[in-house]
Amino acid sequence: MKMSVKKLAVSAMLVALAVSLSSFAIPIGASKCFPIQHLANVVAGVFLGPGYGVAMAFCTSLIRNLMGTGSLLAFPGSMIGALICGLAYRYSGKLMLAYVGEVFGTGIVGGILCYPVATMVMGKEAAIFAYVMPFLMSTLCGTVIAAFLIGVLCKSGAFKYMKHLLDTDIQPSKAVGK
Q: Residue 33: what are its φ and ψ, rounded to 5°?
A: -115, 145
Residue 94 confidence (pLDDT) above 70: yes
Our separate counts of H helices and E strands in the chain read 9, 2
CA distance 40 to 19: 10
> Domain segments of the chain: what residues?
13-20+34-167
Q: Return d(Cα 29, Cα 167) in angstroms, integer.
A: 42
pLDDT tens profile 27-45: 877 667 889 999 999 999 9
Q: Judge contact between 56 and 40, C-beta under 8 A.
A: yes
Asked whether residue 177 carries a pLDDT value surpassing 60, the answer given is no
pLDDT at 174: 56
d(CA 140, CA 163): 24
Reported as a single tens digit per residue, the pLDDT across 139-175 is 999 999 999 999 999 999 999 999 999 988 665 555 5
Q: Which fold has domain 13-20+34-167?
A: Arp2/3 complex 21 kDa subunit ARPC3 (1.10.1760)
Q: Give the up-direction half-sphere exposure of residue 61: CA atoms within 13 A in the CB hemisphere.
A: 20
Q: What global pTM score does this model have?
A: 0.88
